[in-house]
Amino acid sequence: METTILIGKDYGYADQVLDFYTQTLNPLSAGYARIKVKAAGINPIDARRMTGEFKHSSTPQAFGTEFAGEIVEINGSTTFQKGDAVLGSGGQFTHASIIDVPVVNLVAKPQNISWEVAGSLAGVAQTAMTIIDELGPIKSLLIHGASGGVGSISIQLAVERGIEVVATASAKNQEYLKNLGATPVEYGPGLIERIKAIHPAEFDASVDMVGTEEATQASLATVKADGQMRAISGRPLSSNKIQALWVKRNVNNLQYVVDGISSDKFQWTIDSVFPFSEAKSAYSQILEGHNRGKVVLAF
């Protein structure tokens, strides 16, 4: 059996470095499922690895952390079998036509969730659950850059726990943030004054999802002295009072979000879907950083 993998031949922009590579698969290892991928979300980290901003691996490199698809072969599972529709975090990569995934990463795909939604869940769902769990029992939260993948579900998880959320995005996403349950604020000059006008009390916590100096200054100006200030973008920040936060993979957390979407408790927004053959356009779009919700590759 063969798989076609999206690769970055070198570090650079999509048009320069992305290509497809077809290879024969090795025999399936014990504890793994072989998946025919139907959809796979793209995360900013994929595009940032492509450019070389993050050098997690040497080139040529493959991408993708999440997927949904159908099991075509399985080696050592009593829970899943050939033909099952599943989703989850990948093994080494997911932007490929056939992938091998540890069985422990798999979650059954509910029938009432589309392939595109199922394939774009794992990364940001587990990140958002990590954020909300690590912040603990807070009452108010400021989120910078909340209309993207991580922010959209983080707002809903926070609101579900009774946390009051103020969230930033551009003008076009204000109504969207409101519908998710947050009080929206436009980022840009005057941000601190606008936040204080709508939320005069200091926040218990902030999470920065963009990594801008503006977000750093707004957190420092509006979060309690003993509050928590966290950042997930991995970009260098000017204040060491803001602590980095990294996703902890946890299949139970993923299942929680899947159940919430399947039962209509949570909304899941797909910004755009690109055929796998048009991955270059999808990577270019996500690098621009203005998607609402998720960008997805369909196979």
Residues in contact with ligand NAP by the rule CB under 6 A? 43-45, 123-124, 127, 144-145, 147-151, 168-170, 172-173, 187, 209-210, 212, 232-234, 245-247, 286, 289-292
> Which has the closest alpha carbon to 123: 7, 276, 295?
295
DSSP assignment letter at 190: T
* Residue 28 vs 251, nearer CB to ligand NAP: 251
Q: Which amino acid type is present at position 131? A: I
User: Whole-number minimum distance, CB 282 to ligand NAP, in Å?
Assistant: 12
> Which has the closest alpha carbon to 158: 196, 222, 88, 206?
206
User: Whole-number minimum distance, CB 123 to ligand NAP, in Å?
Assistant: 6
Q: How far are the Cα atoms of 97, 197, 215, 295 from residue 49, in angstroms, in the given order? A: 20, 39, 23, 16
> Which has the closest alpha carbon to 70: 83, 51, 88?
83
User: Whole-number minimum distance, CB 8 to ligand NAP, in Å?
Assistant: 16
* Residue 45 vs 98, nearer CB to ligand NAP: 45
Residue nearest to ligand NAP (CB): 148
Q: In angstroms, rounded to a whole number, what is the distance separating the alpha carbons of residues 89 and 127?
A: 12
Q: In terms of DSSP H, where are the helices of the chain?
A: 14-17, 44-51, 115-119, 122-135, 149-160, 174-180, 191-198, 213-222, 251-262, 279-288
* Residue 62 vs 232, nearer CB to ligand NAP: 232
Max CA pair span of the chain = 61
* Residue 109 vs 292, nearer CB to ligand NAP: 292
**String of DSSP letters for 107-130:** EEPPTTS-HHHHHTSHHHHHHHHH
* Residue 82 vs 178, nearer CB to ligand NAP: 178
- The encoded tokens of residue 52 equal 């070389």
- Residue 264: is it exposed, middle or buried by C-beta count within 10 angstroms (0-12/13-18/19+)? exposed
* Residue 92 vs 212, nearer CB to ligand NAP: 212
* Residue 103 vs 296, nearer CB to ligand NAP: 296
User: Whole-number minimum distance, CB 161 to ligand NAP, in Å?
Assistant: 19
Q: In degrees rounded to 5, what are phi and psi of residue 178?
A: -60, -45
| 66, 123 Cβ separation under 8 angstroms | yes
Query: CA dihedral defined by 57, 59, 62, 63, rounded to 10 degrees?
Result: 60
* Residue 29 vs 170, nearer CB to ligand NAP: 170
